[in-house]
Structure 1
């Protein structure tokens, strides 16, 4: 049974200044060079080389060397070592229709291609065994020391050394010994906080003799209410009620109602007028109303006078339109409230799909929101008035786009920005096939 040989890999690389700067191991992929980023090996632009040139092409599981009329290099075919001029002159390479030369390569072939930027080399190497991981050459392997910034590492080590040294110096120093403070050296408030004052003890006098001996306390016998005690309870309640009435009668309004005036008359009668002492409150106030209005007088009495009698006072009813002797009340001139106005106009529409009248009718229905913008700024400047020309594009979805103030004599940025924001939120009842330019003037006046 014949052993199946593993296919060989094509090793391709670039040599610059005597060292390999780029290397690839390929099994079936072709090798292209040029300044295009999709090439296998990217080189700087050159006039004699296209952006993408296939120098090693894999066809039918075999690599072919592709060279043009100007490329230079050498190749070893196993038995002989020839340059590219000999390949082209001796017919070893087949000339193709695009003026390039094709040379099939055996697995023993190896060679190099001279480039302005360096040298492109190629040869075949055995494929690694299955399961083996590809490893980079030792010169390309990264090490931790190569990837670390040496200047930064040096500064970091120096700072770490200084930190360790400072910690060691601090640890070597003896700890400071704090001097003990005597209690008499502390302030009084600290002493009171440490040792709270204790209450003074009261010494009881000592008792001498047999009487000083403690005797067990005798429980007083519980007294049950007797019939005589229960009979005297109502009498005590009546007495307490009389005492309370006597105290209340001499205070507040009760003192006035039950008191005596001059000449042993009622005090309330003296307050209400010259009625007799036998007149009650209802009789004294019987004539206090006249036609549903309360009358106030300045007669001989000290209180309310009867308006029907001749007291010599002036009477004024509460329901009257004016007070006696005060004259007519001046209520001032009537003021007319000015209502801000937004005048209606006809829009300018550059399309036959949108009716100017229908558009004007819609804007007039939405005019209240524009008027709110004007009233808000009118509170700051009552003399604000003028004309604002708004221009926008009516879009196919019924919205307003590119809303801007084309001309304004109002001199108010607040009103202009509010109008633009308001119109952007409108949904117009039109759906034109394309954007329709619209111009609409708003005329603002504070009213008359």
Structure 2
């Protein structure tokens, strides 16, 4: 199977090709021609440039020149082609060679010197020849050759533009109609809600006027009513009536009813003096009753000796200070004591002083308390062994620790009275006599609290600076309870 290749369609005679059609479609550029300059070095064209904008063309070793060439025979920037009044002029120096083709013919630069115009270009004197648009030629400057001619200006290239898909951004994708409607709707609703919660529509409040009106209203308030204090009815204390022969009748019930009736009269209040008088009368009645119970009759014999009568009445009567006299109260005999006031619990005499007497000569005691002491410990410190250096005051410092060791042991005996044992403390002494470390060994039978206390006491000790900068002291301690 053979592969068939499509044959190009031959163009008809007289029909232009595609490139020709494109070139013809481009509008020809009108206007003055521009320079086309080629730079040749070593027989090769290394640069070609069309001066689109009609301007001066400078050459030289300076970077400011349009064409930079390594030549020392020309100034740093020499105008080879100079534009004067819209026309180009060729400037050349004595060291330059070449030829120029004019409309009339070709001329060497050396032949043009006679007809050229002498001008000053920069700091150099040069020859100047006017060029027409048909002129072309070659100028040799050292090892560099410049070829020039006038050509029609190239068509103006259109400014490059981005594709429509790239130029269209977010703004082109926005539906502006909907966006504008939404924006106005938002502003309307926001303004409506803001006007509801704002106070710009409220009337202006004059604070000074309101404060003045408030002060005036306060001044016009009526004064507060006077609070009436209740008046107390103070009654004179009733005099205490002397005991008479009719006292037993009052004690039988008539007196109490009369006192209650008299207390119930009046406006309902009772003063302190009246209450004190009534209390005193009741105390006297209680004492009279006790006197009757202490009589020697058959009905009341040995009533108080059994101790069943409450003693609260006796204590109240004694506190009142009135007491009860011997006999004379409704014929009752209150005892065989001497004259004077008889008070419960008074020493000497009979009567109420002998109530509840059991015949003992003195108060009973519960015995004396004795304090029992706990075990006391003793700390025995052996001779301190010093090694690694001499410590002058080691024996005295170790002996001074005995009291501290004893306190540690006594604290341990409070927890375990049967505790006893021994421990060895190895102390390392620093260059200034301080205890760098204290390590216990042994300690059988001793609690950890006692051993820690002993180690802490050793660590707080201060020795004399040892010879040689350091030493080790071993302290044996034995604890025995007494």
Which TM-score tier does this pair reach, normalised by the shorter chain?
0.3 to 0.5
